[in-house]
Each structure stands twice: as structure tokens, then as C-alpha cells.
Amino acid sequence: MILLLAIALGIIGSYLLYISWKQNNRLAAVSGWVSLFLTVPLLVMDLGPEFGTVFALGLPALYVWLGIFREQKTQPPKHIDRQYKSTQFNGKKWLKNSGYIVYHLILLMLVSSLLVIAILDLLPLGRPNQLAAGVIIIPLVWSGLSFWHLASSKTRTPLLFSAFVSLASSIYLFV
């Protein structure tokens, strides 16, 4: 029964977020987030801390598909004539994009891992719980840092933050 209530709250929360996006309604957005956050303790009570947390983080991604199906518009296929131009090698662009790949996929993964490991080491949890929480939290921190860098107009701020956090975490963990 608690599981069904949590799923219903999640669907309602996702729908309220959809309404807030559609109508630019702040009250619907706050209500939607509150509803989604209320699903966490219900799922933890029903499924336990490990599975409840994973389901609470994963189910909203499935609820979003209801809104996607609602917004879907079918159109008849169109034949598009495209003019193809030859591909040219641009070394500067290649180096810049390679730098982005190294930064976002490798360096930010290391930074997020160091940060989460250092924070979880400060919490009074046993090693198995720290590992379980780390597996769940590291991708969230990693994607948050990457999104912050991509969305920021001043790219130096996230870069300096990442450097400071990795230095501080490394000092805490290895010294």
C-alpha cells in the first residue's frame, strides 16, 4: 500500500512539474518537488534504505515519459533534400573538443569521486553504507559539475571550484 502511495505521489509530482513548465507556475513547481521529495521516505519505509533511495532517484525519470508521451506530436514524414559538403579537418576545433571530453569525462569524474569519498568519510556510516551511498551520489555530483560548467557563462568559476575541491579532498584523504 505504501509503495502504491509513493508511486502515486511521484506521478502527481511529475505531473505538477510538467504543469509548472507548461504554464510557468511557481506554486505547481514547488508542489511537484515537495511531492517528489515525499516519495523518498515512503519508498525507504517500504523497500529499505538502499532500494528505497535508488527507486526514489530512478522512478522520476520513468514518470517523465508520461509527459513526453503527452507532448508527442506525430507528423507525416517529409523528404528532405540535403546538400552534402565535404568534411574538412579543423585541428583547433578537434583540440578544443578533445579538451572538453577529457575535462568532462575524466577530470570531473575524478573530482566528483574525490569529493564524494571525502564527504562520505566524514559521515558516521559503515563502509558498506558509504560504498552504497557513493555509488548513488558520484554520478549525481559528476553530472552536476559538468552541467554547471556547460551552463555557466563564466567557465573559470566551475573550473576553479573543481580544482579547489579536488585539492582539498586529496589533502584530506591522502595526507
pLDDT at 76: 74
Q: What are the counts of helices (DSSP H) followed by strands (DSSP E) for the chain? A: 7, 0
The answer to whether residue 84 is domain-embedded is: no
67 and 106 together in one domain:
no
- Do 114 and 173 touch, CB atoms closer than 8 A? yes
- pLDDT band at residue 72 under the 50/70/90 scheme: confident
- pLDDT band at residue 68 under the 50/70/90 scheme: confident
108 and 170 together in one domain:
yes
State the Cα–Cα distance between residues 2 and 58, nearest whole angstrom: 17
Q: What is the pLDDT of residues 137-148, one digit of tens each?
A: 999 999 999 999
**In which domain, by residue range, is 150 found?**
97-174
The three-class DSSP label of residue 76 is coil
Mean predicted confidence (pLDDT) in 71-82:
74
Last residue of a domain, one of 55, 72, 89: 72
Q: What is the pLDDT of residues 80-105, one digit of tens each?
A: 777 777 777 888 989 999 998 999 99
Going by C-alpha positions, the residue among 149, 150, 168, 167 that lies closest to residue 159 is: 149
Which residues, at least 6 apart from 90, have a Cβ–Cβ distance to it below 8 Å?
none
63 and 1 together in one domain:
yes
The answer to whether residue 89 is domain-embedded is: no
The answer to whether residue 136 is domain-embedded is: yes
Residue with cell 574538412: 88
Q: What is the pLDDT of residues 102-132, one digit of tens each?
A: 999 999 999 999 999 999 999 898 988 888 8
State the Cα–Cα distance between residues 85 and 97, nearest whole angstrom: 21
pLDDT at 118: 94
pLDDT at 82: 74
Averaged confidence pLDDT in the chain = 88
Burial class of 103 by CB neighbour count within 10 A (0 to 12, 13 to 18, 19+): middle
Q: Is the pLDDT assigned to residue 169 strictly greater than 90? A: yes
The answer to whether residue 10 is domain-embedded is: yes
User: CA triplet 143, 28, 59: central angle to 5 degrees?
Assistant: 45
User: CA triplet 133, 122, 36: central angle to 5 degrees?
Assistant: 40
Report residue 114 CA to chain centroid gap. Answer: 18
Q: Is the pLDDT assigned to residue 161 strictly greater than 90? A: yes
- pLDDT band at residue 77 under the 50/70/90 scheme: confident
Against a cut of 0.95, is the pTM above it?
no
109 and 47 together in one domain:
no
4 and 37 together in one domain:
yes
Provide the domain count of the chain.
2
The answer to whether residue 58 is domain-embedded is: yes
Greatest Cα-to-Cα distance within the chain, rounded to the nearest angstrom: 63
Residue 88, phi then psi, degrees to nearest 5: -115, 145
64 and 110 together in one domain:
no
The three-class DSSP label of residue 165 is helix
